[in-house]
Structure 1
């Protein structure tokens, strides 16, 4: 039997684990610290995806058993992990006949200026078509 490679589907659970390990109050729940540390150790050792998924299920069960309805991959926990963004913001052409220009759009900065249409580009989410 060969080991399953790491699965990209586990990324969200890994981000949630990172946030959970940074939350001392959640780690005080019975059985949660042990399961979280076991998952962390599996990640560090390069365990296969099946073993890691089983450990994440065990951690999710421990959290829910202790009254945390979010489990491991709840919206508020997974979304707070540093560096995780659900979408990529870009600036796109503001005109009715858009060109293919796409620029990175940062949250706190205005969109770049469009010299063709004489206005700022509009911010949007990057789609698979772009």
Structure 2
């Protein structure tokens, strides 16, 4: 048996989901979940190898599902709620009654750009699938 030239990489999505789970006291109340989550956290902090982490993540996923959490560990709803992660893109769109297709990136700390057509600032919104 030969060793793989590329060692397995840790699952960053699972680490983000673990962070969100550890920040959710109601999810940690389920039997067996807190222990599995804390073990995964400790392995992650200690720099454990990817195989050991993957095994621990599977055990945590099983514990969550056994307790009725259909999302398991890694899902869009859990990973997307980690502090500092935004699940949407903020944009500035035309505020007029007949909006033009102009879309600008909306920065959090700056006001929306000026709309020369309607004579007012653009409004901030989320980039949806319709745009």
TM-score normalised over the length of structure 1:
0.64
Once the 2 structures are TM-superposed, how far is the Cα of residue 79 of structure 1 from its aligned partner?
Answer: 3.3
Segments of 5+ residues of structure 1 without an aligned counterpart are none
For 1:56-95, list aligned pairs within 5 A: 56-91=57-92
Which residue number in structure 1 is paired with residue 8 of structure 2?
4
CA 1:110–1:24 in 2, change beyond 3 Å: closer, same or farther?
A: same
Two-structure CA RMSD over aligned residues (Å)? 3.4
Determine the structure 2 residue equivalent to 1:17.
18
- Distance in 2 of aligned mates of 1:121 and 1:110: 9
> 2:67 & 2:36 partners in 1: Cα distance?
13
Q: CA deviation at 1:61?
A: 0.4
After alignment, is 76-85 or 86-95 more displaced?
86-95
**Alpha-carbon offset, residue 76 of structure 1:** 4.2
CA contact 1:112–1:121 (8 Å) conserved in 2:
yes
Task: Give how far 1:115 is off.
Answer: 4.6
User: What TM-score, normalized by structure 2, do the two folds share?
Assistant: 0.63
Following TM superposition, the consecutive aligned residue runs of length 4 or more in structure 1 with deviations greater than 6 angstroms are none
Specify every segment of 5 or more residues in structure 2 that has no aligned partner in the other structure, as ranges: none
- Residue 35 of structure 1 corresponds to which residue in structure 2? 36
Q: Equivalent residue of 2:18, what SS?
A: helix
